[in-house]
Amino acid sequence: MDAPSFLKQHVVKPGDKIALKDVDPGGAGEVKSKKEARSLILADHQELIRLQDVLYAEGKHSLLIVIQAMDTGGKDGVIRHVMSGVNPQGCIVTPFKVPTAEELAHDYLWRIHKVVPPRRMIGIFNRSHYEDVLVVRVHSLVPKEVWSKRYDQINAFERHLADNGVTILKFFLHISKAEKKVRLQDRLDDPNKRWKFSTGDLKERELWDDYMAAYEDMLNLTSTKWAPWHVIPANRNWYRNLAVGRIIVETLQGFDMKYPQPAEKLDGIVIPD
């Protein structure tokens, strides 16, 4: 089958309101099976490697990919599968953990801005500045009068990046509460994954509805023309990987990139023994 376009299929249109209860986390769009997806993923992967090479050589663009999800939502998995094989010299992955003392001594965007990818690079944020309207909000780490102002601040920050040549893609990997339970149980049952499990995961699970409300506000208040959100059904890993990879490929194709012109008078050059 021909590769379906996902660039507009999962986007949260600026100004529209999305309700996560209306988005099927187990959906797979036009793709009917993992077998159908496999050949599409392979073709996209080869195209991504080619496009990244041109991006790096041309040196005119940078791409920032923001990935948010609940724990077990597949952030690590989508980075590992979609970006495998790309040149590590041209790709930077930045995970955002609990802020350090140095980071807390600055404004909340300081640690973000300093790792925005420069031209010719792809930067991937595993979590991001959006933690400051998610976990900070759910756990009341700062007052509402503080975190509620951050939506406009983030929009302005991302507009500044976009105006200065950074293309921003934002992905929310949407899994169901039932699927999250399955994945937590898998971590408990698999000796090689048990290290990932924390009893804190169970406390966070009790706050599911609070997190869904926070994610909905994040999506509805910060999906903009210059930095759109894409809600990716993520119960099926193969569809998640296909959709994210295809959106990245379509975005890079839209740059209309070309390799730089070689130096003049190269014809006839003989490399000496």
**pLDDT, tens digit, 9 for 90 and up, residues 115-131:** 999 999 999 999 999 99
- The CA distances from residue 56 to 86, 227, 267, in Å, are 11, 22, 25
Residue 87 per-residue DSSP state? -
For the beta sheet containing 62-69, the strands, ordered from the edge strand earlier in sequence to the opposite edge, are 91-95, 122-126, 62-69, 166-174, 229-233
The whole-angstrom separation of Cα 113 and Cα 105 is 15
The whole-angstrom separation of Cα 234 and Cα 146 is 31
User: CA triplet 173, 91, 163: central angle to 5 degrees?
Assistant: 80
- The CA distances from residue 20 to 51, 144, 218, 220, 236, in Å, are 33, 22, 12, 11, 17
Residue 240 has pLDDT above 80, yes or no: yes
* Stronger pLDDT, 3 or 120, i.e. the higher one: 120
**What are 186-230's pLDDT values in tens digits?**
999 999 999 999 888 899 999 999 999 999 999 999 999 999 999
Q: Give 182's pLDDT tier (boundaries 50, 70, 90).
A: very high
Least confident of 102-111, 128-137, 193-202: 193-202
pTM equals 0.94
Strand bridging mode 122-126 / 62-69: parallel
The whole-angstrom separation of Cα 217 and Cα 118 is 29
Mean pLDDT, residues 238-244? 96
Specify the fold of 20-29+61-73+90-235.
Rossmann fold (3.40.50)
Q: Give 1's pLDDT tier (boundaries 50, 70, 90).
A: very low
**What are 27-51's pLDDT values in tens digits?**
988 888 899 999 999 999 999 999 9
Mean pLDDT, residues 217-245? 97
